[in-house]
Amino acid sequence: MRSTLLRVFAIAAVLAAVACSVDKVTSPPVGIEETNFASSLGVDLDAMTRSSTGLYMLDKTVGTGPAVAAGDSIVAFYMLRLPDGRLLQSNYGGAPFGARMGTLIPGWNEGLIGMQAGGTRRLIVPPALGYGSSGGGSVPPNAILVFDLELEKVVKD
């Protein structure tokens, strides 16, 4: 009888833990407009352009080089932060990041189009255009992402 009760309690504990984790994973993401951004980020959504997909963009410096088009390759420096200001990734002080358009997260594939080499742009990426409900690496699930990008080079393919 005692071992049966222990098994029942153990199963109940496991089910409770699973239920709690399911709530965390499936809870809907907070919208960008409802997000409290750290003051250190200087986010002003009213000054940014919002696309139909919910991506926010702001050119801090307009470049003078070629503009990014679908299928181009880019070389860039970037900084990735969460809305609370926490730095997750940066390649400043290291090698620039290079990739072909279409192979990046959807927020970059959309948000870099039209950006000119030599420019800097901020992207605020909703979870659906970033790493979604799964997250990835240091990026938590349903994360809104704040990218600051410096486009070094556009390679026309």
125: domain CATH number?
3.10.50.40
Q: Encoding tokens for residue 70?
A: 């679908």
pLDDT in tens, 105-144: 999 999 999 999 999 999 999 999 999 999 999 999 999 9
Q: Where does residue 43 rank: exposed (0-12), middle (13-18), buried (19+ CB within 10 A)?
A: buried
In a domain, 6, yes or no: no
Cβ neighbours of 121 (radius 10 Å): 23
Residue 11: predicted pLDDT:
41
In a domain, 46, yes or no: yes
In a domain, 93, yes or no: yes
What range does the domain containing 98 cover?
31-155
Average pLDDT (60-81) is: 97
In a domain, 92, yes or no: yes
Q: Encoding tokens for residue 94?
A: 């290291």
Q: What is the pTM of this model?
A: 0.81
pLDDT band at 157 (very low <50, low <70, confident <90, very high): confident
Split into its structural domains, the chain has a count of: 1
Cβ neighbours of 141 (radius 10 Å): 16
